[in-house]
């Protein structure tokens, strides 16, 4: 199987909110985070222990699977009732005769012959797959991510950001293999020859700024609130 080895593009998005805005979002949401069916705590009962900015990696891969193959198959052809056999390329195919007591009442097309031959198929499948920094597959389309990348400014990570970077826990090779499995459908039985090609359109390693707030509520219960620093949304 032919493969076109892709290059990984690393992109870091710049936060669209600062820590003050993130803290205000946390303050507005913290009561709901600790609220239960029986009790709603006061804001004063919930304390912000820490608020940190992380850059979390998402892996996005897109590609195409092409296959050109020959497979064994058979088809049944209905023939007139008085046909006894078919001759195709000097090969004789006997016609199955109806011998039931009801055969004389059945339509003339009821007699049939099964012909075995080979088919050549050409298939092309395009798809994408995405993973969070833990390596868990997530519902994140390649096209939507491209729009986000084009819309928002990027940032160059410095040495000071090193401690706040959450790199992918899944390897590029493992992610590629999962994409290949998604692109390839189950192979049909009876395949005689198979020519396959995998083409990778893109592999993106996108670092998204995420504010992570550690909150302490009643009875010292701890909750974590996460904010997407690009889309300004609670995760």
Could you state, in chain order, the average pLDDT of each consecutive group of 10 residues for the chain (235 residues)?
68 88 91 87 90 91 87 81 78 71 54 80 87 87 78 69 84 90 72 78 88 91 91 87
Q: In this structure, are 190 and 140 located in the same domain?
A: yes
Q: In this structure, are 110 and 215 located in the same domain?
A: no
Q: For residue 95, what are the domain limits?
A: 70-120
Query: Left if phi > 0, otherwise alpha if psi is -120 to 50, otherwise beta: which for 219?
Result: left
Q: In this structure, are 156 and 194 located in the same domain?
A: yes
Q: In this structure, are 189 and 130 located in the same domain?
A: yes
Q: In this structure, are 115 and 147 located in the same domain?
A: no
Predicted local confidence at residue 10, as pLDDT = 86
- Give the closest residue to 204 by CA, choosing from 149, 158, 123, 164: 149
Query: Left if phi > 0, otherwise alpha if psi is -120 to 50, otherwise beta: which for 13?
Result: beta
- Give the closest residue to 225 by CA, choosing from 45, 32, 38, 40: 32
- Give the closest residue to 196 by CA, choosing from 125, 143, 145: 125
- Give the closest residue to 202 by CA, choosing from 145, 134, 138: 145
Q: In this structure, are 137 and 78 located in the same domain?
A: no
Q: In this structure, are 141 and 34 located in the same domain?
A: yes
Predicted local confidence at residue 211, as pLDDT = 94
Which residue blocks in 1-114 are alpha helix, DSSP H?
19-34
Out of 57, 87, 120, pick the residue that ends a domain: 120
Q: In this structure, are 222 and 161 located in the same domain?
A: yes
Q: In this structure, are 226 and 149 located in the same domain?
A: yes
CA atoms within 13 A on the CB side of 11: 19
3-class SS of residue 16: coil
Q: In this structure, are 143 and 193 located in the same domain?
A: yes
Burial 5-23 (b: 16+ CB within 10 A, else e): ebeeeeebbebebeeeebb
Q: In this structure, are 169 and 142 located in the same domain?
A: yes
Measure the CA–CA gap between 104 and 93, rounded to whole angstroms: 23
Q: In this structure, are 213 and 158 located in the same domain?
A: yes
What φ, ψ does residue 179 adopt, rounded to 5°? -65, -45
Predicted local confidence at residue 186, as pLDDT = 62
Predicted local confidence at residue 61, as pLDDT = 92
Query: How many domains would you assign to the chain?
Result: 2
């Amino acid at each position: 199987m032919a493969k076109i080895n892709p290059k990984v593009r690393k992109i870091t998005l710049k936060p669209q909110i600062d820590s003050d805005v993130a803290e205000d979002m946390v303050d507005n949401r913290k009561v709901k985070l600790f609220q239960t069916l029986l009790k709603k705590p006061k804001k004063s009962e919930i304390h912000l222990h820490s608020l940190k900015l992380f850059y979390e990696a998402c892996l996005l891969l897109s590609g195409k699977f092409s296959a050109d193959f020959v497979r064994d198959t058979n088809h049944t052809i209905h023939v007139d009732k008085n046909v006894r056999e078919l001759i195709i390329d000097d090969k004789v195919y006997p016609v199955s005769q109806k011998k039931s007591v009801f055969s004389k009442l059945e339509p003339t097309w009821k007699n049939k012959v099964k012909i075995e031959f080979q088919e050549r198929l050409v298939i092309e499948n395009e798809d994408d797959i995405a993973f969070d920094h833990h390596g868990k597959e997530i519902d994140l389309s390649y096209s939507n991510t491209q729009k986000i990348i084009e819309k928002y400014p990027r940032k160059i990570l410095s040495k000071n950001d090193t401690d706040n970077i959450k790199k992918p826990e899944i390897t590029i090779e493992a992610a590629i293999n999962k994409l290949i499995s998604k692109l390839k459908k189950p192979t049909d039985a009876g395949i005689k020859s198979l020519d396959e090609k995998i083409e990778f359109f893109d592999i993106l390693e996108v670092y998204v700024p995420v504010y992570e707030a550690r909150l302490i509520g009643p009875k010292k219960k701890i909750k974590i609130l996460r904010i997407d620093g690009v889309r300004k949304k609670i995760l």
